[in-house]
Amino acid sequence: MPLYRKVRSHDGHVELDEMKATCVKHKELCRQFAECSREMRQNEGQLEILAETGNQLKDRHAAIKGAIAGRGHSQAAMAKLEEEVDKVDREVTIWMKELEEVNAQRIELEIRCIRLGAELKKSITSVQLASIDFDLIHKKHEKYWQRFLAEQPSSVFDEEKDSDNGSKTALSSTCPTPKVLA
């Protein structure tokens, strides 16, 4: 179903209501897209933190590997190395789970942003069409108004003196001089 569909009415109220609904929907899409962009930036920050954590874990792994390669280990040193390996192993497991979650969230966000971007492009087109239609409705209304004024007897627009205070009548003082369209 299109975001903006042209509905005809003799006075333009239906079209104006459709245009308002189109603009409201467009505003909501803009809000959703901005929120999605904010979430993408937040996700990017999470990925950067996880990358730093990954580098720290890599450095700790290299330190453990270097300590194991050394000669002459005592029982206490081996127990300490084993404890450090267990800690790093647990941290790597946690890091991998977090990375998996953040990556899955990233994929969902990218899909949502692509979908919202496509909807937003359609919405922009609909808003542009609504703007064109609004201009047409305005011109049509202006023509009707000018025809109405042109069809009125000229005595209505003449400056008449009010018998009480000598001022112009309310209609003649507020109505502009009609211009007839060709």
Tens-place pLDDT, residues 32-73: 999 999 999 999 999 999 999 999 999 999 988 888 887 667
Q: What per-residue confidence (pLDDT) applies to 180?
A: 42
Cα distance between residue 181 and residue 107, in whole Å: 59
Cα distance between residue 54 and residue 89, in whole Å: 12
- DSSP helix/strand/coil, 9: coil
Cα distance between residue 147 and residue 180, in whole Å: 7
Strands annotated E in the chain: none
Both structure tokens of 63: 């330190």
Q: What per-residue confidence (pLDDT) applies to 60?
A: 93
Q: What per-residue confidence (pLDDT) applies to 21?
A: 85
**Three-state SS letters, 50-77:** HHHHHHHHHHHHHHHHHHHHCCCCCHHH
* Model confidence, pTM: 0.60
Q: What per-residue confidence (pLDDT) applies to 141?
A: 79
Q: What per-residue confidence (pLDDT) applies to 179?
A: 46
Q: What per-residue confidence (pLDDT) applies to 89?
A: 94
Cα distance between residue 77 and residue 133, in whole Å: 81
Q: What per-residue confidence (pLDDT) applies to 110?
A: 96
Nearest-5° Cα angle at 117, 14 to 7? 15
Q: What per-residue confidence (pLDDT) applies to 81?
A: 87
| Enclosing H/E stretch for 12 | none
Q: What per-residue confidence (pLDDT) applies to 19?
A: 81
Cα distance between residue 55 and residue 61, in whole Å: 10
CB 26 within 8 A of CB 126: yes
Q: What per-residue confidence (pLDDT) applies to 178?
A: 40
Q: Which parts of the chain sit beneath pLDDT 70?
A: 1-12, 71-72, 154-182
Cα distance between residue 142 and residue 126, in whole Å: 24
Q: Which residue has the tokens 């040193």?
A: 77
